[in-house]
Chains A and B, each alone.
Chain A
Amino acid sequence: MNAAALIAVWAVLWGANVRLARTRAGHWIVPAIFGLTLLILWEMTVRLFDVPEVILPAPTQIAVAISQNLPTLWADLVQTAIKGALTGWLIGCGAAIATALLVARSGFLRQGLLPVGNFVAALPIVGTAPILVMWFGFGWESKAAVVVVMVFFPVLLNTVAGLDDNSVMQRDLMRTYGASAAQELRYLRLQSALPFIFNGLKIATTLALIGAIVAEFFGSPTLGMGFRISTEVGRLNLPMVWASIVSAAVVGSLSYGLIAALEKRLTFWHPSQRARR
């Protein structure tokens, strides 16, 4: 009976989606309805099957937890996302792009650093979190350090690959214009590297939040998203845990969206951006 109700709701909403997908507005409505479907099914499952709150709270309970704890959630957000993740992201990406500009100038360095960088990028770098927390203390500085280490190599590798992504013909053209090395960098290499750099920055945004939160598991002051999640799990206060997760997901999606919008602005000429018009 209960299962039948769930399947019926699913079928109705999916049917609506199938119909809407053919229309012009489908691009926006279909994913929204799909998300809504998941939320409704979640709520119904929890209510119909009497799932205990300790295992899975309903979306409404989570919404209540969010509205009741807004100041706490905001303080956690400032501590983890702005002080920890954003600082680390800025330092890490800045250092990576600067290093890439140096590396791209020397073939020797590129041949040596790229294999090593590829190796390091595949490593479980989150594992350095306990060491960095030990070095930089429990404050946000250690979280920023973890983020720097995590974002450095993906951005470095992407930027180096991007700076190489121009043809002999284009470089020759720059030379016939009598361009200096700086001008060639400014007008040719950096421009053609932008799609790659943004690719690296996008990877870095999600990594930054993960790094800052996971680093808090190894020691933190009494605020921060990671601290909140681990303590509230211990108290089995699951709606609050989910509230923290929702705020982390919102911040993650927003920053990703911000980078994607900037990418659209700056690399409008790239085929991947023009295809969807």
Chain B
Amino acid sequence: MTETRLSAPGAGIGRAGQVTLWLRGLPARAAPILVVIATLLALWYAACIPMNAQQSLLEAERAGAIVTPATAAERRDMGGMTLALSNPATALAHAFGQERPRLPAPHQVLAELWDTTIDKKVTSKRSLVFHAGLTLAPTLLGFAIGSLAGIALAVGIVHSRVMDLSVMPWAIASQTIPILAIAPMIIVVLNSVGLQGLLPKAIISAYLSFFPVTVGMVKGLRAPTPADLDLMRTWNASGLRTLLSLRLPSSLPYLFASLKIAIAAALVGAIIGELPTGAVRGLGARLLAGSYYGQTIQIWSALFGAAIVAAGLVAIVGGIERLTLRRMGLAR
């Protein structure tokens, strides 16, 4: 059994041949990405020098070195670029090892990430894995609620003209309300009703993730051509049977595309949901605590932690998508 089309490149060469083809194409595909990433990293390191110049010169002065404007008072109003240019050696030497830099260097962020994920016990309050887990729970719950609600709404919209006319414009308008901005209020209000912990954050996540799913599913459920629908009608299929056997299967590619957007949005919702509750635990709490105490490295590591979690979640949905679509014979 082969899954590729007969005309596809490498169709007749078996699995080993396909792997070889894939490997041979790898450098051509990976090189541009690596170059772009390397350029970004180089820019980042370069930016560290002027950004941290103020602090570098202060450290050097305290250590007894001579810097060009001699006192901190004279340097306060000068730009980082001018400072770095007038003391190139000092600025370079102290730019990448500060404790609270304005812009931490990539290796500092990496070291902090390593320190807070691998070196700490998972149950420790200083472990980033612990905080990421606490953010992940409301994300997944909210994602589940939001996508189910979105699918249900889409089924209603496709089957009822009244719902299509009345709900759809308001669903679009609801997205222009900056939900993230009122997230604090939702948390506080639900708190005063007695709802605490997982659910309030999950509600925000759900609100953010329902919309992409609704829009995608409406498009997907309407994807069958009139000819397909007519065929179902000639078989005297009921509305439910048409939905189950024709509309739902053909909507799956659209569903997965929107689920990927939805899960990333759900994570953002959960992070923002953590900000107002005093921000004790979770990735959002690490961001806020870091910004209160000027712990820039902690902010950046929390940010990258969130990025890794987001990328992981999207990748998992993408993996399920590929498996499902391949089983259904819809894979491209």
Contacts and interface: CB of A to CB of B under 8 A. Distances in A.
A210 B169 contact: no
A124 B268 contact: yes
Contacts of A38: 170
B181 A124 contact: no
B291 A210 contact: no
A218 B291 contact: yes
B299 to A, nearest CB: 6
Contacts, number: 153
A50 to B, nearest CB: 14
A213 interface: yes
B300 interface: yes
Interface string B150-193: 00000000000110011111100101111111101100110011
B291 A133 contact: yes
Nearest to B34: A112
B167 A34 contact: yes
A116 B37 contact: yes
B311 interface: yes
A127 B310 contact: no
A110 B264 CA distance: 23
Given A206-B178, A230-B184, A35 B303 contact: no
Nearest to B168: A31
Given A17-B166, A33-B166, A124-B307, A248 B177 contact: yes
A217 B184 contact: yes
B29 interface: yes
A115 interface: yes
Nearest to A225: B181
Given A206-B175, A248-B177, A249-B176, A127 B271 contact: yes
B120 interface: no
Interface string A20-61: 010000110011011100100000000000000011100000
Question: Which of A110, A127, A205 has the most CB atoms of chain B within a 10 A radius of its CB?
Answer: A127
B192 A31 contact: no
Interface in A244-261: 245, 248-249, 252-253, 256
A151 interface: no
Interface of A: 14, 17-18, 21, 26-27, 30-31, 33-35, 38, 54-56, 108-113, 115-116, 119, 122-124, 126-128, 130-131, 133-135, 205-206, 209-210, 213-214, 217-218, 225-226, 229-230, 233, 238, 241, 245, 248-249, 252-253, 256
Given A116-B37, A122-B311, 18 more contacts: A17-B162, A31-B166, A33-B166, A55-B193, A109-B36, A111-B32, A112-B31, A126-B268, A127-B303, A134-B296, A135-B51, A206-B175, A210-B179, A214-B178, A229-B182, A233-B276, A249-B177, A252-B177
6 contacts: A17-B162, A54-B192, A55-B192, A116-B36, A214-B178, A233-B184
Interface of B: 29, 31-37, 40, 51, 102, 161-162, 165-170, 173, 175-182, 184-185, 188-189, 192-193, 260, 264, 267-268, 271-272, 275-276, 287-288, 290-291, 294, 296, 299-300, 302-303, 306-307, 310-311, 314
